[in-house]
Amino acid sequence: MTAHALLLQALADSTAGSLPEDLAFVGALAEAAPEATDELARWLAATPGPA
């Protein structure tokens, strides 16, 4: 899975109600810093979302 896809999945799982256009920054982040994007995705996936 690409850094972009991992981050999108992690954000989708942790931010209920966001629309895809709200997450447009993810592509730019993944291109600019794929390693940081992977780390952020792992952190988001491990962090409990809102109750």
The band of 46, judged by pLDDT with boundaries at 50, 70 and 90, is: confident
Predicted confidence (pLDDT) per residue in 7-41, tens digit: 777 777 766 665 567 667 777 877 888 888 888 88
Q: Which pLDDT does position 22 carry in this prediction?
A: 66
- Owner of token pair 């952020």: 40
Domain boundaries, the chain: 3-46
pLDDT of residue 51 exceeding 70, the answer is no
Alpha helices, DSSP H only, in the chain?
3-14, 25-32, 34-46
pLDDT at res. 32 = 83
Q: Are 37 and 2 in contact (CB under 8 A)?
A: no
